[in-house]
Amino acid sequence: MLATFSQPNERPRPERVAPLAKLPVFWALEGKTVIVAGGTDGAAWKAELLAACGALVHVYCPEDELSEVMASLIDAHSPADEPISPLEGEMSGRTDGGSPTRTGGIVCHPHHWHADIFKNASLALADCETDEEAESFHTAARAAGVPVNVIDKPAFCQFQFGSIVNRSPVIVSISTDGAAPILAQAIRRRIETLLPQALKGWAELARDIRERVNERLAPGPQRRTFWERFVDHTFASNQSPEEGVERVLLTEAESLSEAPATGRVTLVGAGPGDAELLTLKAVRALQSADVILFDDLVSSEVLELARREAKRMLVGKRGGRESCKQDDINAMMVNFAKAGKRVVRLKSGDPMIFGRAGEEIARLQAEGIPVDVVPGITAASAMASALGISLTHRDHAQSVRFVTGHSRHGDLPANTNWASLADPTVTTVFYMGGRTAEKISEALGSHGMPPSTPAVIVTSVTRPNERRWSGTLDDLAEAVAIIGVDEPILIGIGNAFAARAKAPVEKPLPHSEQQEIRVA
């Protein structure tokens, strides 16, 4: 046998919050004073953005140096009164958290900036031609205790502007930490297509009724249920809230307040590992969960999509390792649900394929607990996609079977119909068959399957450490012995894999450590 392979890389589980290049902060500027030095188009864009936030923007630039864009902007946003000083601008806002007595605008001071202009300012920005001027502005602002940004000069910036999607009061800001502004713009365009313009009206309605909803519903499941239904209304269509919807929503809140707190359980398929293969419904379930009971095979990337406040509990079940008992998992789901929690039972692959979903559903229904299921992409489907193989190619196979490779006692299932599985025109995928691969090969061979029948092995499918082998039934046991059984393993057998068995050895994909292993 000739085989080449690489050892899979161990990936540590990420922290609850992965490292951030910058802290995203949304800063209230209504009625506050902001300094802008320079009259360029770049400075004009920043001044317009700041004025849109309600800030009183003081632009310092000689009139003959103002760009046409900045000059017209100053004309359009000039306060109704005569120009006021930065000190007056700071005092014009209320300090009790209410609305300011004056709205934002742009005031031009027809001279260059100087060190005395920073008093009482909330932010300071400049568009400087040279690093020397940028350093001077940066130093003066810092000395006055004012956060500073010099446009296109990251070394002199304490904060940065993101690319903005505006559905105010919903605001999305995207930052690449200055590394790829074009990428940020591309991301913004994609988000623009996802968020309907009507979102603005729904967000304003949420702001208007929030306090009244909070008066009716205590913090916890009932209040979250209300807002999740509100979100359903929001994205049901691209229509602004209709007249009378406020009354309907408050009536709905009243009815929730009178209902007893009852939890529910959702069995969610996490797929084979790649978080991008999750369904939208699965992501919504993760983001509304109070408690997540997850399998050992669920990837950390999938868990990253869950609600931050959710309690996460590993209830892993792996062959050959100490596992949480199924009865204990059932009891945890029941207890959390009876306490009014929204429980997500997060399973790798699809919950309804070798996931013991039937046992869990039966127990929950016996306890009167609502339960629903969100399907996931099962590992065999992911394997077929990864290999570029149709499991039911009409030239090779007319049916496909998913078969467990071990019983609850760790051996081959006693009631398997090996004579039926030995037909090479039937595509068979064995789950969890690593430790019984030799017995699988022997059982199929003893029931008439030719030793030359094509076979494949894929471990950790869709993950960065994915590995593949292709060969024949006769070499299957030896291949598993080389690959090892520490990672989740799939075995595919049948004529549908013939093209794969004849394929040349592939190089690892650029984004992973996966390696093709072939028997010669």
- What the block records as the tokens of 224 is 């979250």
- Active-site option among 127, 274, 290, 295: 295
Concerning whether 325 is annotated as a catalytic residue, the answer is: no
Give the span between the Cα atoms of 520 and 484, in whole angstroms.
Answer: 19
Concerning whether 317 is annotated as a catalytic residue, the answer is: yes
Query: Which sign, positive or negative, has the C-alpha torsion 239, 242, 246, 247?
Result: negative
- H/E stretch holding 293 reads strand 291-294
Q: Which residues have C-beta within 8 Å of that of residue 375, sequence separation ≥ 6?
A: 269, 279, 350, 351, 352
DSSP assignment of 385-444 equals: HHHT--TT-TTT-SEEEEEES--TTSS--TT--HHHHT-TTEEEEEES-STTHHHHHHHH
Q: Which residues have C-beta within 8 Å of that of residue 254, sequence separation ≥ 6?
A: 216
CB-CB neighbours of 91 under 10 Å: 16
- H/E stretch holding 164 reads strand 163-167
* b (16+ CB within 10 A) / e for 501-510: beeeeeeeee
Give the span between the Cα atoms of 151 and 265, in whole angstroms.
Answer: 51
Decide: residue 295, CB within 10 A, 0-12 exposed, 13-18 middle, 19+ buried: buried
Give the span between the Cα atoms of 136 and 187, in whole angstroms.
Answer: 34
Q: What is the CA radius of gyration of the chain?
A: 31
Q: Taking a C-beta distance cutoff of 8 angstroms, is the pair 121, 35 a contact?
A: yes
Q: Which of 142, 167, 296 is nearest to 234 (CA)?
A: 167
What's the Cα-to-Cα distance from 462 to each of 93, 107, 168, 434, 467, rounded to whole Å? 55, 57, 39, 18, 10
- Active-site option among 46, 317, 341, 347: 317
Quickly tell me which residue has 């490779």 as its tokens.
405
* b (16+ CB within 10 A) / e for 174-208: bbbeeeeeeebeebbeeeeeebbebbbbbbbbbee
Q: Which residues have C-beta within 8 Å of that of residue 395, sequence separation ≥ 6?
A: none
* b (16+ CB within 10 A) / e for 326-336: eeebbebbbeb
What's the Cα-to-Cα distance from 238 to each of 189, 199, 204, 232, rounded to whole Å? 18, 8, 15, 12
Give the span between the Cα atoms of 182 and 169, in whole angstroms.
Answer: 25
CB-CB neighbours of 173 under 10 Å: 16
- Give catalytic residue positions: 295, 317
